[in-house]
């Protein structure tokens, strides 16, 4: 075989090599979990307005008042996993509320009317709902998306981050994290 004929097969060999590489790697799950760098650190300073007129908003001081742990859930009406987790949030809120632990919601990048419609449809498990229309609080917490849930101790230190929607099987683990945050 001459050199010029061999050069014709090089692109074919490269294509076959790339196709084999891609076929092998397509079957491999790409699990990249991005944990917040804020775990173990104080909640950043914030003061968000309430979703409801005349109701108190949510501020760092609410989480650092020494009243025990709290749960903070970041959600949005446009988020499908947020709708899926809604019944499990209600279970968590009921169980945590029985222990005197509030569940606070922060609606991010959402119009108030959309948030209200979402809560009307899926239920409102929150002691308070604050709005973060620009998403600054989500970024400050180191959240990678919605939904995300944080457990904050009574001193305002972030103790746990739950990525993604809460499933029924996650509720006992989150309650255990609450106990550890006391």
> Topology of 47-180 in CATH?
Glutaredoxin (3.40.30)
How far is Cα 146 from Cα 76, in angstroms, rounded to an integer? 7
107-136 pLDDT tens trace: 999 999 999 999 999 999 999 999 999 999
- What DSSP letter does each residue of 32-81 carry, written as one string? -----TTTTSBPPP-EEPBSSTTS--EEHHHHSSSS--EEEEEE-TT-HH
DSSP 64: S
List the domain boundaries for the chain. 47-180
- For residues 92-102, give the mean pLDDT: 92
Return the number of other C-beta atoms located less than 10 Å from residue 159's C-beta. Answer: 17
pLDDT at 17 over 90: no
- Residue 162's pLDDT band (cuts 50, 70, 90): very high
pLDDT at 25 over 90: no
- For residues 61-87, give the mean pLDDT: 95
Q: Is the pTM of this model over 0.75?
A: yes
């Amino acid at each position: 075989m001459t050199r010029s004929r061999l050069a014709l097969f090089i692109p074919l060999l490269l294509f076959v090599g790339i196709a084999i590489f891609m076929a092998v790697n397509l079957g491999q799950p790409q699990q990249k979990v991005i944990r917040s760098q804020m775990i173990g650190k104080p909640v950043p300073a914030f003061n968000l307005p309430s979703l409801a007129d005349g109701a108190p908003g949510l501020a760092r001081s609410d989480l650092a008042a020494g009243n025990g742990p709290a749960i903070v859930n970041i959600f949005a009406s446009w988020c499908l996993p947020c709708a899926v987790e809604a019944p499990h949030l209600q279970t968590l809120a009921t169980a945590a509320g029985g222990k005197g632990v509030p569940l606070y919601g922060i609606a991010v990048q959402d119009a108030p009317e959309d948030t209200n419609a979402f809560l009307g449809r899926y239920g409102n498990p929150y002691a308070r709902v604050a709005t973060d229309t620009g998403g600054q609080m989500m970024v400050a917490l180191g959240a990678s998306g919605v939904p995300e849930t944080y457990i904050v101790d009574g001193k305002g230190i972030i103790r746990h981050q739950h990525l993604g929607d809460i499933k029924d099987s996650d509720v006992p683990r989150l309650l255990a994290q609450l106990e550890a945050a006391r």
